[in-house]
Structure 1
Amino acid sequence: MPRISATQDQDQSLMRLGKAVRARRAQQALSQEALADAAGIDRSHMGKIERGERNVTFLNIARIASALGCKPSDLLLDADL
């Protein structure tokens, strides 16, 4: 089975997840760098997640959700996934 990358994301799932993360971050007036630090993720990687350029692991979704004070399922629901 071939690996799925951002370029093969036909239904824009990664883009929608990234927008959900960005929206929650903006609601809390957090900078991208502050969220990345709180989640233990490199800032440039966080930027790629928000732009839908990275296939995010569940562990990173869980870290981001925790840093935003929500559940991973909340981010997925926000992204309509």
Structure 2
Amino acid sequence: MRSSPWPRRGGLLLGALWASPWSLLGLLAGVVGLAAGASVRISRRERALVFQHWPWGPGGAMTLGNVILDTGDGLD
């Protein structure tokens, strides 16, 4: 017997709502990074927007809500 997908979807929606203030801050930083040469993609695995080649920072990645600011080529 399969369980209903609604509890899982509800949990994902609640989590996205909870993280939305930080996601907005990350989105703002990502858009500024786009003007400086970053690129953006949607990651289904991380359930996040990923800004790659984000030009500021010492290296690595930073997560703000459901937005990932990555200074490298990929998250792997």
TM-score over 0.5 for the pair: no
TM bracket (short chain): 0.3 to 0.5
TM-score (ref. length: structure 1): 0.34
TM-score (ref. length: structure 2): 0.36
Higher strand share: 2
Higher helix share: 1
Higher relative contact order (CA 8 A, sep 6+): 1
